[in-house]
Amino acid sequence: MMPLRGRTILITRAEDQAGGLRDALAAAGARVVVSPVIAFAEPDDWGPADRAIAQLETYTRLIFTSANAVDRFLDRMDHLGRPRRDLNPLDLMAIGPATGQRLESRGLSVERSTEVSRAESLLDLISLRGRPERERILIPRAEVAREALPGGLRRLGAKVDVVPVYRTVVVPLSEEALGLLSDHAVDLVTFSSPSTVANLLAGIRAIGGAAALTGVTVAAIGEVTAEAARQEGLDPDIVAPRATGADLARAIVSHYTGG
């Protein structure tokens, strides 16, 4: 059964994260065009992260907001010669199943992982656990990100250090993808983060911006990304229940099969 046969799907996710989604959609028969509109680079200044890594023992909790933050932070620890066992006394938490799975794949035990990739869901967990005002929490993340989590934790009384471990950079849309969108030859576009929404729309400004996606099915990897799309005037047709590539692929197939 090839439920996506004859459909052209554009993936805007970063190249090194697009493989699973691409393969799942292709296996269902889609013509898949991968044109990343974001990539990840080192932060402009490693100083804040390096200082936090040097004083890990002063923290009670470490919160990861993405799989990319996991990789960048742990790789930086390795670079500085800080052994992974120094994380054992800390409670490790993850926003979203993909982030929790990445921690476990790198040999770390996760105290709690949220099923929903929203900071608010983690805030609810922490507020129910007792005395957040006694916590000192480290959040390694992108240079630019939502302030819901650190702001919410501080309102609960926790001491919070946010340190950048990567930055998101813009990648121009490929000529192939731009041509397909210009010719109205794309059936569906996937968004994996608010940055992919903003960058794709910027990349197609010359052909009408959001208007160029009229008639194109919009699929978002989770509610945060879906909300970012709505703020840009797009109404997602598909929102994956969990922010993973596998869940997004299943949601797309289900959309077309009526499952």
| pLDDT at residue 118, as a whole number | 65
Q: Are strands 31-34 and 217-220 parallel, antiparallel or unpaired?
A: unpaired
Give the neighbor-by-neighbor strand order of the sheet with 38-41.
38-41, 159-170, 136-142, 61-64, 91-94, 112-113
User: Crossing angle, helix 47-54 and helix 67-80, to 10 degrees?
Assistant: 70
Q: In the structure, what pLDDT confidence band is assigned to residue 208 with cuts at 50, 70 and 90?
A: very high
Please write the tens of the pLDDT for every residue from 229-252: 999 999 999 999 888 889 999 999
For residue 80, pLDDT beyond 80: yes
Give the pTM.
0.85
Q: Which of 98-112, 116-130, 141-155 has the lowest mean pLDDT?
A: 116-130
Residue (of 33, 40, 41, 31) closest to 12 by Cα position: 33
pLDDT tens digits, residue range 131-170? 778 889 999 999 988 788 899 899 889 999 999 999 999 9
Domains of the chain with CATH codes: 8-39+170-257 (3.40.50.10090), 47-167 (3.40.50.10090)
